[in-house]
Every structure is written in C-alpha cells, then in structure tokens.
Amino acid sequence: MASWVESSKTQPRVVKLLKNSIRKQRLAHAYIFEGAHGTGKMAIATVLAKTFLCRNMEDGNPCESCPNCKRISSGNHPDVHIITPDGQTIKIDQIRGLQKEFAYSGMESSKKVYIVEHADKMTVQAANSLLKFLEEPGADTIAILLTEQVHSLLETIRSRAQTLSFTPLPPQGILQKLLEDIPKPIALLASSLTSDYAEALEICREEWFAQARAKVIQLTEDLRLRPDYCLVVLQDQYLSFFKEKDQLRLALNLLLIWYRDLLSIHLSNSENVVFFDQLQALEQQALHTSQKKTGEALQAILTAQARLRSNVSPLMVMEQLVLRLREG
C-alpha cells in the first residue's frame, strides 16, 4: 500500500515538499509529476489524493481507516477520477467527460481530485480543453498530471501547475533493499526493470515473474540450440504465456536485458551481467555469435518494442523478431 513513509524512501524531496504544503494548507490546485517510468509518480499521486480527502488526517498523514481512504486504496472512490490514454492518445472527449463530472457536486464531499496519466499523450484539442479547466480551478479541486515527457506538455499548461521532478533510484539502491528478502536472480532482474522500489518489490512477489524469466531463458536456449524449432513453439509456449500486451512488453524487456548481458560478455564485462546465474549459457552463446550480430539483435528487440507500441499484431511482431534473432 502506498504511503508517505514508503514513498519518502525513494522520493524524499517530493514527499517533503508536499507534506509541508499539506501542513500549511497551501496545496496547489494543479501539479505536474514528471520523471522516468517507475519512479513512483502514481503512488504519490494516490497518497496525495488520499490525504486531501481523508476525514481524519493527522499531521499530513491519511488515517487509512476512514471510508475515503479505504475507497481510494481499492480504486473506486467516486471523487477521484483517473484519465488514461484511449489507445495511443488522450482524446478531447475524455477531458470533456471529466469536466462534466466536475460540474456535479462531489459524491462524498465538496473535494475532488483528477489524475491524468501520460499527460504528454493528450491531443492538441484535449490539451487545450484541459487548459481551460486549469484556468478556472475549483477551491476544492486538485489536478495531478503524470508524465515522462514534461516538455511535450503545452507551455501554458506547465505555467499553470507546480512541477515536481521525480528522480530515479539507482538500480544498486533498489537491489540492496530487495535482497533483504528476495533471491538475488529475481531481485537483480527486477531492479533492472524499474526505478521504483515499491514496483520492483511487487514484481518480485509475483510468481508469474519468475515463470516469465524462465520462459525467456528457454527462448534464448531454443534460439541457440534449436533455431528451426522456435517458430513452431512460439505461439503455443510463449504467446500463450505472455497473453496480454503488458506481459509481452515485459518479455521483450527481459530479452533486451539478456542480449545486453551477451554484449557485456563480448566486452569482457561479465561483472555487469544481470542473468548472472546463466553466465555459462551466455558465454556459450557469445562463442557462436559476433559482437556485431549481438548489436543487431538488440536493435531488432528495440524495433519490436516500437512496433508493439504501434499496435502491430503481437504474433507478427514476435515471429519477425524470432526470425531476426535466429540469424544471429
């Protein structure tokens, strides 16, 4: 569960600024949380919403037990509205729908919070519509815009909100915290995927993640030892496991880390290998492929990630990727 205490471990400056504003009752009407993926922007947005709406707040901390706190924790508070991209963009109709919701009185109180994820993906029309909303803030309203690309937001929007920058926690810092109760192979891999300790811990605790890691290792073995077999089992053994797009994105990230490890072997930097328990397999693969081919494989995976984001068929993306990797 997100909390100020947990969030302060990774974003102490942001938490200190927000809690000071809460204690002094000087919260801004709009915030921009900007920073890389996995830096805890949504977690802190959730705690801020909870604190703002809490019925029994004490010293800037939500009580976690009142109906508002509980409903926000469960993700179903009627006065907390979250906007996410509809496909590739946030559309004007989504912002208009938000404005319509805010025209009504709050269900639980007069206070309302709206959170816009990936705010940089608003269309021009949606951004201009949101700008008008920001220009006329309600006294009991807080807007929180989350973005990894703050400079893609309209300057007029940036000028009407307080920007808080989220700094990434070094992978080594996340790793050391995870190693307190997580096996090193899983902890090291998770810490390479995200800059957010809470997210990394959640990843580690999912049994599915360990299975995904094993699947990706098996795929690299199939590519090395049974290249003609890969396409046959791709759909049955791999795409049937990585069913959702988010799962397939994770698979590609794991595959990317594997080939980065392979490049580290080529460059005699084995101390940087993430799949350290697979060092022998990586060394065997390095013996049978060149540094150039490994670089081409990395580029092929990056291309596959871009194509998946562009809504190309997952089957087509993976089939073409496997064909490219098989060449190496």
- Quick: pLDDT tens for 186-214: 999 999 998 777 788 889 999 999 999 99
Which of 114, 144, 168 is the last residue in one of the domains? 168
Same-domain status, 129 and 210: no
d(CA 300, CA 321): 6
Per-residue pLDDT, 303 = 96
Select from 38, 49, 324 the least CA-distant residue to 193.
Answer: 38
d(CA 50, CA 282): 47
Same-domain status, 229 and 147: no
Same-domain status, 229 and 321: yes
The answer to whether residue 118 sits within a structural domain is yes
CA atoms within 13 A of residue 138's CA, in its CB half-sphere: 16
The answer to whether residue 176 sits within a structural domain is no
Per-residue pLDDT, 195 = 76
The answer to whether residue 286 sits within a structural domain is yes
- Comparing 72-86, 97-111, 144-158, the range with the smallest average pLDDT is 97-111
Total domains in the chain come to 2
With beta carbons less than 8 A apart as the criterion, state whether 256 and 302 touch. Answer: yes
Per-residue pLDDT, 151 = 95
Per-residue pLDDT, 105 = 64
Same-domain status, 20 and 68: yes
Per-residue pLDDT, 213 = 97
Say if residue 280's pLDDT is above 90. yes
For residue 141, the domain's CATH number is 3.40.50.300
pLDDT digits (tens, 9 = 90+) for 216-274: 999 999 998 888 888 888 878 898 899 898 999 999 999 999 999 999 999 999 999 99
Instruction: Give the mean pLDDT of 7-28.
Output: 92
With beta carbons less than 8 A apart as the criterion, state whether 258 and 281 touch. Answer: no
- Secondary structure E strands in 51-182: 80-83, 112-116, 141-147, 162-166
Same-domain status, 163 and 215: no
User: Could you tell me which residues come within 8 angstroms of residue 276 by beta carbon, excluding any fewer than 6 positions away?
Assistant: 184, 185, 188
Same-domain status, 115 and 255: no
The answer to whether residue 105 sits within a structural domain is yes
Which of 168, 192, 227 is the last residue in one of the domains? 168
At residue 15 the predicted structure's pLDDT band, cuts being 50, 70 and 90, is very high
Q: Which amino acid is at 265?
A: I
Which residue in the block uniquely carries the two structure tokens 């004490």? 58
Same-domain status, 314 and 257: yes
Percent of the chain with pLDDT over 90: 70
* Domain region containing 226: 206-326
- Torsion sign, CA atoms 188, 190, 193, 199: negative
Classify 259 as helix, strand or coil. Answer: helix
For residue 231, the domain's CATH number is 1.20.272
Same-domain status, 109 and 232: no
Reported residue count of the chain is 328
Same-domain status, 157 and 234: no
d(CA 197, CA 39): 8
Say if residue 328's pLDDT is above 80. no
The answer to whether residue 108 sits within a structural domain is yes
More confidently predicted of 100 and 118? 118
pLDDT digits (tens, 9 = 90+) for 41-81: 999 999 999 999 999 998 899 999 999 999 999 999 999 99
Which of 168, 193, 220 is the last residue in one of the domains? 168
Q: What is the dihedral of CA 137, 138, 139, 145, to 10 degrees?
A: -60
Say if residue 320's pLDDT is above 80. yes
Same-domain status, 135 and 53: yes
pTM (two decimals)? 0.64
The answer to whether residue 189 sits within a structural domain is no
At residue 1 the predicted structure's pLDDT band, cuts being 50, 70 and 90, is low
Per-residue pLDDT, 237 = 87
Question: Helix crossing, 184-191 with 171-178: angle to 10°?
Answer: 150
Which residue in the block uniquely carries the two structure tokens 């871009």? 306
Biggest alpha carbon–alpha carbon distance for the chain? 67
Classify 83 as helix, strand or coil. Answer: strand
